[in-house]
Amino acid sequence: MRKLLSFIGLAAFLVAVSLPQAAVAQHKHEIAKTPRHQSVAKRKVSRTVSVSRRKSIIQTRVRTQVVPAVLSFGQIAGLHGTPDALKLKSSAALVIDQETNEVLFSKNDQAVLPIASLTKLMTGLVLSEAQLPMNEHITISQADVDTIKNSSSRLQVGTELSRGELMHLALMSSENRAAHALARSYPGGLPVFVGLMNAKAKQIGMNDTNYVEPTGLSSKNHSSARDLAKLVEVAYGDPLLRKLTTSPDYQVAVGKRMLQYNNTNRLVKNPAWDIGLQKTGYIAEAGHGLVMQTKVAGRRLIMVFLDSAGNLTRLADAQRVRHWVESTPARFRVIPLARPNTDNLPIAARVEG
């Protein structure tokens, strides 16, 4: 009997001890269900997701940064390493006195390079000399959409503008669809037009120049600074090209909308510059290019800058040349820099094909 009572007492003691622990466990379970605890839990999850998202963004940025940049043909050929007295950022340059044909400055002026939208100056010259009706309307078609660089345009397929309006946009703001539509709609079509571009180049002595299309989006359109100076000289003699290339801005009506376009060369709006004709150009393979006819210190000059490092550096190079001319006595001579020997470089680097 004593043993039985002793056993019952021990069992009761054990139950009494275990009850608080069970109650504590139950209490913790209930706390987990409270809004405050849930809020804390959500913050922990949110913090974990936020950290994970930051890691993902960082990894994406790292992957983006390791993608190699496309080198211009001038960079591949090592032309950027050519020293010059003015420390230009363009790998090829030429400055000529338009009155005397005296070469005032040259740097790799015979290097054959892609010319990007400088192409459009020849496109405009061929069109102007053809004397087609400027009020004739041309419709932008799917054929005018860029499939070379996949560049965008505000001229949607179906847009209808006059030939004169399209020429204005192509020469002033380098509108690619406008230039392509002008060439496509030329009598005989695109092949005939490109043939006329190359024939005109030969006629004016541009022997290092070749065109395969009218916009400059193809890197197979190539020329040299020396050839482009000849093109500027001839184009400057065309009043229409002078007017369109130096127009600061222009508006066209597309349906119920008015589209505002600006000149791609900001020097045109600079009152310190007297620019008679100009054209800019850029694709990755060509770098940034600029050709101009301008008056500096009473002298008519033709300036050509090819394969500049950036959009603003080509303008800065023009400023450097201008300051140099203004600060140098009238009688001066610059010995042209020799063209680097690129005969042993790959064809893509020599850019002769």
Contact, 61 vs 54, CB < 8 A?
A: no
Instruction: Give the pair of three-digit tokens for residue 32.
Output: 């987990």
Q: 89, 107, 120, 230: which is the annotated catalytic residue? A: 120
Using DSSP's 3-state secondary structure scheme, residue 204 falls into coil
Q: Is 18 a catalytic residue?
A: no
For CA atoms 287, 113, 184, 234, give the dihedral sign.
positive
Question: Which of 320, 339, 336 has the alpha carbon at shortest distance from 103?
Answer: 336
Cβ neighbourhood burial of 172 (10 Å; 0-12, 13-18, 19+)? buried
- Percentages helix, strand, coil for the chain (3-state, rounded to 5) are 45, 20, 35
Q: 128, 174, 185, 308: which is the annotated catalytic residue? A: 174
Q: Is 106 a catalytic residue?
A: no
Cα distance between residue 241 and residue 221, in whole Å: 21
Q: 117, 173, 185, 224: which is the annotated catalytic residue? A: 117
H-helix or E-strand containing 307?
strand 299-308
Cα distance between residue 83 and residue 337, in whole Å: 9
Q: Is 56 a catalytic residue?
A: no
H-helix or E-strand containing 44?
helix 35-65
Give the N- to C-terminal CA distance of the chain in Å, as an integer.
Answer: 115
Cα distance between residue 94 and residue 106, in whole Å: 4
Residues annotated as catalytic (active site), given as ranges: 117, 120, 174
